[in-house]
Amino acid sequence: MAVAELAQDSADGSTAASDESFTPVEALALHVKALDLIQQCLALQSGDCAHGNAHNTTLTLTPTPTPATVRNTAPNTAPNTLQTTLQTTLQGSSGPGPALRPSEALLRLDGERCVAASCLSTTDESCSADALRARFAFLLQSAEHIRAQLQHERESSALAKGGQTVCVEEILYRHALIMGREAAVDELLGKLERSCLLYQRAKLLLEQLAHEAEVGQADRAVLSKYAAGFAWRLYEVATKRAHAAQLGDDG
């Protein structure tokens, strides 16, 4: 899943596609988004297995409130805990106070079930239940590490004076366009394999964004247009790669 890959990249502070860096708050927001997406995929897979009378693997464990055991928490409960923690962290205050409504609204995932269903419709091994659980566990541990960093910074720096507002959709859109530009450069330089990978990731990010409940109709049309453009470039790059392979065989 493209969002999960971007979240993993953000844990290191930058992406493989560019030199643009992520702030810790942006990285944590991406992790929450990715964890919720994976949770939806696992829930749909579990439901499909139950409906088909297949072996229904239990995906839930008894949740515990302690940070030391949160990585063992069930996929259907841990994202909510992280999302609550993210909201508290973004407030920039240890005491009671109003939540940052823009951040809270932009982290809602009402449209993610469509995205999860799209993921499950593919034959990509990255969407298998075991792979999703492994990625969920990795991202959950990474999110805990980022959260601890933020907590430390908040207690020892100016972060304690005020919160930082993040827009996950803006982050995803920005990096989708960055990946598209990098892919175009690689295509011109003849780095077709990397170009294909970046076009694919950019396309998936834009398609996932188009399913967001907060995205307006006009913005959704723009996202779909860009995604279609990247899909066309993918076709063109695939044609070039096939032609190059044919020339190699003829040689």
Answer whether 10's CB lies under 8 Å from 22's CB. yes
* DSSP one-letter code for 21: B
Contact 102, 165 (CB under 8 A): yes
Residue linked to tokens 């910074």: 153
Strand partners, 131: none
Give the residue among 77, 210, 90 at the shortest CA–CA distance from 146: 90
- Please tell me which of 90-104, 111-125, 160-174, 178-192 the model is most confident about, judged by mean pLDDT: 178-192
Half-sphere exposure of 53 (CA within 13 A, CB side): 0
Q: Measured on CA atoms in the order 133, 139, 142, 144, is the torsion positive or negative? A: negative
pLDDT band at 161 (very low <50, low <70, confident <90, very high): low
14: β partners: 21
Contact (CB, 8 A) for 173 and 209? yes
Nearest-angstrom CA–CA distance, 83 and 91? 13
User: Dihedral of the CA atoms 99, 62, 70, 56 (nearest 10)?
Assistant: -100
- pLDDT score recorded for residue 221: 92
82 neighbors 31 (Cβ within 8 angstroms): yes
Which residue did the predictor score with more confidence, 31 or 201?
201
pLDDT in the model for residue 224: 92
How much of the chain, in percent, has pLDDT values that exceed 90? 18
DSSP string, 75-107: TTTHHHHHHHHHHHHHHT-SS-----HHHHHHT
Q: Is the pLDDT of residue 98 over 70?
A: no
Q: Is the pTM of this model over 0.75?
A: no
Average pLDDT on 240-250 reads 81
Residue, of 95 and 135, whose pLDDT is higher: 135
Ordered structural domains, the chain, with CATH: 2-166 (no CATH), 169-250 (1.20.58)
Give the model's confidence band at 90: pLDDT under 50 very low, under 70 low, under 90 confident, else very high: very low
Q: What's the Cα-to-Cα distance from 228 to each of 99, 202, 204, rounded to whole Å? A: 37, 11, 10
83 contacts 36 by C-beta, under 8 angstroms: yes
Between 108 and 128, the higher pLDDT residue: 128
Q: Are 211 and 114 in contact (CB under 8 A)?
A: yes
- pLDDT the model gives residue 231: 94
